Amino acid sequence: MPYVNIKVTNDGVTPQQKQRLIEGTTKLLVEVLDKDPATTFVVIDEVDTENWGIGYDQVSELRKNKGD
Amino acid sequence: MPYVNIKVTNDGVTPQQKQRLIEGTTKLLVEVLDKDPATTFVVIDEVDTENWGIGYDQVSELRKNKGD
Amino acid sequence: MPYVNIKVTNDGVTPQQKQRLIEGTTKLLVEVLDKDPATTFVVIDEVDTENWGIGYDQVSELRKNKGD
Amino acid sequence: MPYVNIKVTNDGVTPQQKQRLIEGTTKLLVEVLDKDPATTFVVIDEVDTENWGIGYDQVSELRKNKGD
Amino acid sequence: MPYVNIKVTNDGVTPQQKQRLIEGTTKLLVEVLDKDPATTFVVIDEVDTENWGIGYDQVSELRKNKGD
Amino acid sequence: MPYVNIKVTNDGVTPQQKQRLIEGTTKLLVEVLDKDPATTFVVIDEVDTENWGIGYDQVSELRKNKGD
């Protein structure tokens, strides 16, 4: 019955990438802990870069400054 | 001072249904644990079916396949 | 597929009270949103009063001051 | 390596206010616990007032009633 | 800068199994989304079976009844 | 009505340090967003270093290797 929450910045993650994250995480829990995939939840949160901070700054600002 | 977070898929939950979830959860905490409703928070997160996985797959895909 | 997280202070919640919280929350989601109980998770976190703050103060200190 | 999640109601928080929350929280963790800002994350969630309940009611409804 | 939270029941997960979960999840985020492992956090929560409910019941009780 | 969750590694954080985190975070929300401290919650989670991963590895192992 694992529950996994993945938070990433909102950078145009595609449905296919989401599917790979869900499948890969579930496989990992089955392989490492023998969990039942039928009751393994994976929830992905996409967070605006303006709402994510690291090293005192918003990711949105860090990217502007780095030309990233 | 309880804090409750309810995550459900984003399926057109109405304001009235949200109100019932908030009221019901708060009542439960008052009845079972004698908590003060004035400091009982209930936060509802609605998650896109594309971002919720169960049994290796996205809920969005599971519904397509089941004609659900 | 709802996921519910209930955070309460660690005040000797009994197994029976936990069972009532789990049962009541699940029933609410079935009644209000027609969710499947077989894939409804409820996770209870018990938090030390020293680690929970409200109104600038730790709950542990608030209780000392109020003789509560 | 702290991770901080700040949930507030979705009331037009400006990018500048978000930046101040991120900077202030990170400074606090550096000052109090000597944490490395380079691996201090702050994630802000803005929650619709319809999805936040307190004292049995949705914040959206409480504000209507109070003319707030 | 992903943040991943894995919640599992508290069933004697070994340090080696935790390491495999951390390594596997981080690899997945690097492969699928090209994330920087240096700022990828994985936090594992081990939850008492008494505090985890599914299908109206505590996992602790479900296991007793199933001789599991 | 903000809710703040601070996750740090379990490194002997003292009650005084916790109080400073709670007070500082609450002040920040009052100053930046004019929130009511009476309904501002701060919850601190202390996570075992064995359960926190960064850069593919457990913090417990990283510290051994660095003599930290």
pLDDT in tens, B32-54: 999 999 999 999 999 999 999 99
Counting every residue, how long is chain D? 68
Of F9, F13, F33, the CB nearest to D8: F33
Active site residues of D: 2
Express each pLDDT in A28-49 by its tens digit. Answer: 999 999 999 999 999 999 999 9
Residue E21's region, left for phi above 0, alpha for psi from -120 to 50, else beta, is: alpha
What residues in chain F have their Cβ under 8 A from chain C's Cβ atoms?
Answer: 15, 18-19, 21-23, 25-27, 37-46
Interface size A-E, in CB pairs within 8 Å, comes to 66
Active site residues of A: 2
Of D66 and E59, more confident: E59
**Which residues of D fall within a CB distance of 8 Å from B44?**
51-53
User: What is the distance in angstroms between the Cα of D42 and the nearest Cα belonging to chain E?
Assistant: 11
Q: Residue F68 pLDDT > 60, yes or no?
A: no
pLDDT band at A1, cuts 50/70/90?
confident
Arithmetic mean of pLDDT over chain E = 96
Per-residue confidence (pLDDT) for residue B23, from 0 to 100: 98
Express each pLDDT in F37-62 by its tens digit. Answer: 999 999 999 999 999 999 999 999 99
The pTM assigned to this predicted structure is: 0.96
ipTM > 0.85, yes or no: yes
Query: What DSSP letter does each residue of chain E carry, written as one string?
Result: --EEEEEEE-S---HHHHHHHHHHHHHHHHHHH---GGG-EEEEEEE-GGGEEETTEEHHHHHHHHT-
Chains adjacent to E (≥3 CB pairs closer than 8 angstroms): A, C, D, F
Pick from B60, B66, A13, A45: nearest CA to C1: B60
pLDDT band at C42, cuts 50/70/90?
very high
Query: What is the count of structural domains for chain B?
Result: 1
Helix/strand/coil for D36: coil
Identify whether the C-beta of residue F45 lies closer than 8 Å to the C-beta of residue F5.
yes
Of F51, F54, F60, the CB nearest to E40: F54
Active site residues of F: 2
Q: Which residue, among B18, B23, B33, would best test binding to C if mutated, counting the most C CBs under 10 Å from its CB?
A: B33
Structural domain containing residue D62: 3-66
Which CATH number does the domain housing residue F18 bear?
3.30.429.10
What residues in chain A have their Cβ under 8 A from chain E's Cβ atoms?
Answer: 1-9, 13, 17, 20-21, 24-25, 28-29, 32-33, 35, 39, 52, 54, 59
- The answer to whether the Cβ–Cβ distance between B43 and D53 falls below 8 Å is yes
Task: Report the alpha-carbon distance of residue E5 to residue A42 in Å, rounded.
Answer: 10
Establish if F52 belongs to a structural domain. no
